[in-house]
Chain A
Amino acid sequence: MPDSNGVSGANIRLENLTKRYPGSAAPAVDNVSMDIKAGELIVFVGPSGCGKSTTLKMINRLIEPTSGKILINDEDVTNIDPVGLRRKVGYAIQSSGLFPHMTVAQNISLVPKMIGWSKGRVDARVAEMLDLVGLDPTEFRGRYPRQLSGGQQQRVGVARALAADPPVLLMDEPFGAVDPITRDHLQDELIRLQHELHKTIVFVTHDFDEAIKLGDRIAVLRERSHIAQFDTPEAILTNPADDFVSGFVGAGAALKRLNLTRVRDVPVVEVPTAGVDDPLQSIFDIMGSGSVTELLLLDRHNRPYKWLRRGDLMRAKGSLARAGTLVSHHVTDDSTLRDALEAVLTDSAGRVAVTGKKGEYLGVVDMETLMNSVQELLQADRLDAIEHRAELADAAGGQVHREQEGAS
């Protein structure tokens, strides 16, 4: 149930989780410990075969751990009935895992029915879940999975996983099998869902960009599920813990960093503006003040309309109708810095107008602001990371200290 912060998730703690398959010398997952806070979206990312899926499947005990403990909401679930455990933990997998002989509604209602909801409540829930994942209930509830596109199947898969309102959701490369455009949509939708629901989500992928986009924190896993780094996307991008992580981050870390920051987080510059209904004389006055060579004309709703240069005004001959260049690109304050950079690069004058929710003018970003902001961001990230590392070192030092005291 959502508490005062709207968090409906549960915290998860993995303690020394190990999986050893009979007949192989090295464990598939070796001694993984991890703390996941309630309401966090954690991404496990790593090369294929690194044991990230195995680790995930140990959380709902589809794979039984050889040793170690799993705690959900501080309750040890390592030895409880796995069937009961799985009904409280949503599970979404790659090929959607929908049962082809059941309709969309039947698929979604499976878990609520198993835990004994009444028919009326189940029916209402099916409609609610379809709405939540953006599918029209009347149109889709009676369809069979093969009558859906890959993206729609995946949405229904997520709806089924969330149907009984589990505090924890496990997702095993859920968007791995859909085309890039659909994947992008599904990722955006998951972010939106998570803003509404605040579940604890553990998400497995091998796609680092996906991890950056979705994760509150990312666990970069190397072979045998060893945690190479477990930190925020910003920290991993700017301060990879070792060569393995930086290899995985790949080239263009600074560019990827741009995806993590919104335009509203950077200062915009003001340019002189005028309204379309302003008298020509006042516009001439602004232009005439010397330093101003360009101004932005706003329409009646205060939205960016045209860029006017001094020369344009000379040729206008008393009418603004044909003067100036229409504003072709603009970004909203919700856009990422990467979108803004793209817009600035394609704009002939190297600047782009920023608009608010209703399209109203807020300011302008140009190359210089972008460069300064990125420099500052990277610098701040670096400082954070260094501080973070110092804290870790302190904590580790303290522990060693205590242990020594205990021993003596």
Chain B
Amino acid sequence: MSFWDYLGNRWSQLLADAFQHASAVFQCVLAATILGIAIGVLTYRTEWGGNLAIASTSTLLTIPSLALLGLLIPIMGLGVAPTVTALTLYGLLPIVRNAIVGLRGVDPQLIDAAKGIGMSRVARLFKVELPLAWPPILTGIRVATQMLMGIAAIAAYASGPGLGNEIFRGISSLGSANALNQVLAGTLGIVVLALLFDAAYVLIGRLTISRGIRA
């Protein structure tokens, strides 16, 4: 069976896998974003706090994804729970680091001005610091998404959802007629999804970054 025939035959199955893959990545990025910005906001003002947050999230990233899933399965069982946990943890590093760097990079003169005109701590954070740190944070989210696209494929190992299943099926039946088609379809699907997400980020950037600070 040629690759195109394979695609034609399995179209609905592939689409469902792709949708689940995208949905898993999207939800985990969302969770990582909320968590990551929260960690950044809580730690950026102290030297040691921020450095600790960056160091611990980068340590997480050095654990091979297969190994992390292997560690999570005994605790959480198979399926969605270990997948989501692993993906969210991996997504944290770029977001936390960029949030801290972005928040620390806000011109101290502007902080001084914000205080001087009578903005409260909360108003300063939401009206001045976060909007100014938003471009690097968005870049962090974008990097996290790209990373999670690939890592999410490994999640099939823990019976997670997504295009990884296609790839693992292909690998386990190497030599059979459709093995190569399966791996290829899964891989290409992930690449296409990554490109679509990236395009979405360009659009989000246009919509959410003030014209006054857009490069």
* Residue ranges of A at the interface with B (Cβ–Cβ < 8 Å): 60, 62, 83-88, 90-91, 93-95, 97-103, 110-111, 114, 144-146, 160-161, 170
Contact = CB atoms under 8 A, between A and B. Distances in A.
A83 B122 CA distance: 12
A98 B112 CA distance: 11
Contacts of A93: 109, 112-113, 116
Nearest to A86: B118
A78 B211 CA distance: 40
A100 B132 contact: yes
Nearest to B121: A83
Nearest to A88: B118
24 contacts: A60-B116, A62-B112, A83-B118, A83-B119, A84-B118, A85-B118, A86-B116, A86-B118, A90-B117, A91-B113, A91-B117, A93-B116, A95-B109, A97-B110, A97-B116, A99-B132, A100-B210, A100-B213, A101-B210, A103-B212, A114-B118, A144-B210, A144-B211, A160-B117
B71 to A, nearest CB: 42
Given A94-B109, A114-B123, A87 B118 contact: yes
Contact of A114 (B119, B128, B131, B213): B119
Contacts of A99: 110, 113-114, 127-128, 132
B117 A111 contact: yes
Nearest to B114: A99
Contacts, number: 67
Contacts of B128: 99
B35 to A, nearest CB: 24
A103 B211 CA distance: 9
B136 to A, nearest CB: 13
A404 B210 CA distance: 68
The 6 closest A-B pairs by CB, nearest first: A97-B113, A144-B212, A91-B116, A86-B118, A87-B118, A101-B210
Interface in B81-130: 109-110, 112-120, 123, 127-128
Nearest to A96: B113
B118 A111 contact: yes
A88 B120 CA distance: 14
B153 to A, nearest CB: 38
Contacts of B210: 100-102, 144
Interface in B46-84: none
A184 B40 CA distance: 44
Contacts of A62: 112, 115-116
A101 B113 contact: no
Nearest to A111: B117
Nearest to B120: A83
A62 B117 CA distance: 10
A311 B177 CA distance: 119
A131 B204 CA distance: 36
Given A91-B113, A114-B119, 14 more contacts: A83-B119, A97-B109, A97-B113, A99-B113, A99-B128, A100-B210, A101-B210, A101-B213, A103-B212, A110-B127, A111-B117, A114-B118, A144-B210, A145-B212
**Residue from B127, B212, B213 having most chain A Cβ neighbours under 10 A:** B212
Contacts of A90: 117
A135 to B, nearest CB: 17
Contacts of B114: 99
Nearest to A85: B118
Nearest to B211: A144
Contacts of B109: 93-95, 97
A114 B128 CA distance: 14
B213 to A, nearest CB: 5
Contacts of A83: 118-120
**Residue from B110, B117, B123 having most chain A Cβ neighbours under 10 A:** B117
Contacts of B116: 60, 62, 86, 91, 93, 97, 170
A102 B209 CA distance: 11
Contacts of B131: 101
Interface string B198-215: 000000000000111100
Contacts of B119: 83, 110, 114
A172 to B, nearest CB: 9
A269 to B, nearest CB: 52
Contact of B117 (A103, A110, A145): A110
B133 to A, nearest CB: 10
Contacts of A100: 110, 132, 210, 212-213
A114 B124 CA distance: 12
A161 B212 contact: no
Nearest to A161: B117
